Amino acid sequence: MTYLDHAATTPVLPAVIEAVAAASATTGNASSLHASGRAARRRLEEARESIAADLGARPSEVVFTSGGTESDNLALTGILRARRQADPRRRRVLVPAIEHHAVLDTAEHLAARDGVELGWLEVDDYGRVHADTLAAAINEAPDEVALVSVMWANNEVGTVNPVRELAGVAHARGIPLHTDAVQAVGQLPVDFAAVGVDALSVSGHKLGATTGVGALLVTRQTPVEPLLYGGGQERGIRSGTLDVPAAVGLAVAVHDAVQQRAERAAALAALRDELVSGIRALLPDVELTGDPGQSIIDGGPSRLPGSAHLRFPGCEGDALLMLLDARGIECSTGSACTAGVPRPSHVLLAMGMDERTARGALRFSFGHTSSPGDVRAVLDVIAPVVERARAAALAGSRRR
């Protein structure tokens, strides 16, 4: 199989497997006071210190979670509730409609259950939020905004947001900003302190760690109401017995991602560009979605180096996906978290595309195991696959 769905999950690194196995072979609850417990705590804190150093944070700012979804939920719900407790007027949350569903569904749940008012930030044709757009949204009712959440890089189209600039706009009004950096870490230069956000979500399985582990980086000055109660672990923000082996594995994956970032990003971008140019040479009407990646934002490219989101006119994305899968090519139509749901991408709709256009898209995403052979495998089959998908779509429209 040719695996080109690294944005959904990337293969676990051998070094992570080794580290997790070694940590799993030892006994001890990191909250226990005896020797085994202290040893587990030492391994946990070493992992925390390593992640903090690699992502420009203080160790006390690293809160371990079960992954990106929990980190996003904790950031939005926890910060909002803490802000409202301090000032009941803070009832608005500002988010763009291109966010991952871990953010969107949390925000909509808060609107339905907690009386939150959602403010939808408009995006441009690339799927990017601009600073003046955020400023205008805040100025509508600056004393009512509790939180802003804007993802660092979009998981479907790869467009990078100017997070540092957006954080500056929010902070000028005394408003915290959270960013979902699940896709950014490892592909873009991520420095928590330098970019100035208040909370940042990380997911292990996007980096080569195991599934079920992640982190929320959150400043000490940012109040967060917990979602889980119990032992008071993780600054009281996230109770529960810590999964020490998973945390150790996450630290190994983050360190590898950061240390290899520049070299790996250049290699991924070269593969991506070869794939895009090769497909468009075979199928000239295919269009690239998102930022073309020709500028710099926050010290990195304006587009994720490992992501290629393409629109195939006259095709259904699901049909393309299955036809490619039958040929040994694994990719996606968008976020894996909504796979199997027969509806167009909410990201593309938010960017102004109609439903028909949005349904004919595929995302190819590269990672640490990708090679030029993967590109050749796609180019060998894409033209007949698209021809067959278009014929099927045409036949279907005639029957209707």
97-147: per-residue pLDDT in tens?
999 999 999 999 999 999 999 999 999 999 999 999 999 999 999 999 999
Evaluate if residue 252 carries a pLDDT over 90: yes
Other beta carbons less than 10 A from residue 351's beta carbon:
24
CA of residue 103 relative to chain centroid, distance: 10
Which residue spans within the chain are E strands per DSSP? 2-3, 62-65, 92-96, 117-121, 145-149, 177-180, 199-203, 214-218, 287-288, 296-297, 300-301, 307-311, 329-330, 361-365
The pLDDT value given to residue 337: 53
Say what the pLDDT of residue 143 is: 96
- What pLDDT is stored for residue 344 in this prediction? 86
Assign 332 to helix, strand or coil: strand
> Would the pLDDT of 279 be above 60?
yes
DSSP letter, residue 100: -
Nearest to 177 by CA among 162, 188, 159, 157: 162
DSSP state of 291: -
SS (H, E, C) 51-69: HHHHHCCCHHHEEEECCHH
pLDDT at 325: 97
Both tokens of residue 265? 């990003």
Residue 259 pLDDT class (50, 70, 90 cuts): very high
- Predicted confidence band at 40 (pLDDT cuts at 50, 70, 90)? very high
At residue 343, the pLDDT reads 75
At position 4, the amino acid (one-letter code) is: L
pLDDT at 394: 83
Mean per-residue pLDDT over the chain, rounded: 95
Predicted confidence (pLDDT) per residue in 190-230, tens digit: 999 999 999 999 999 999 999 999 999 999 999 999 999 99
* pLDDT per residue as tens digits for the range 338-363: 555 567 899 999 999 999 899 999 99
Mean per-residue pLDDT, 29-51: 97
pTM: 0.95
- Taking each helix axis from N to C end, the angle separating 317-326 and 372-399, rounded to the nearest 10 degrees, works out to 130
Question: How much is the pLDDT for 393?
Answer: 84
Residue in 337, 349, 381, 392 annotated catalytic = 337
pLDDT at 285 over 60: yes
Residue 130 CA, chain-centre distance (Å), reads: 19
337 is catalytic: yes
Domains in the chain with CATH codes: 2-9+260-399 (3.90.1150.10), 14-258 (3.40.640.10)
DSSP state at residue 7: T
Give the single-character DSSP code of 116. P
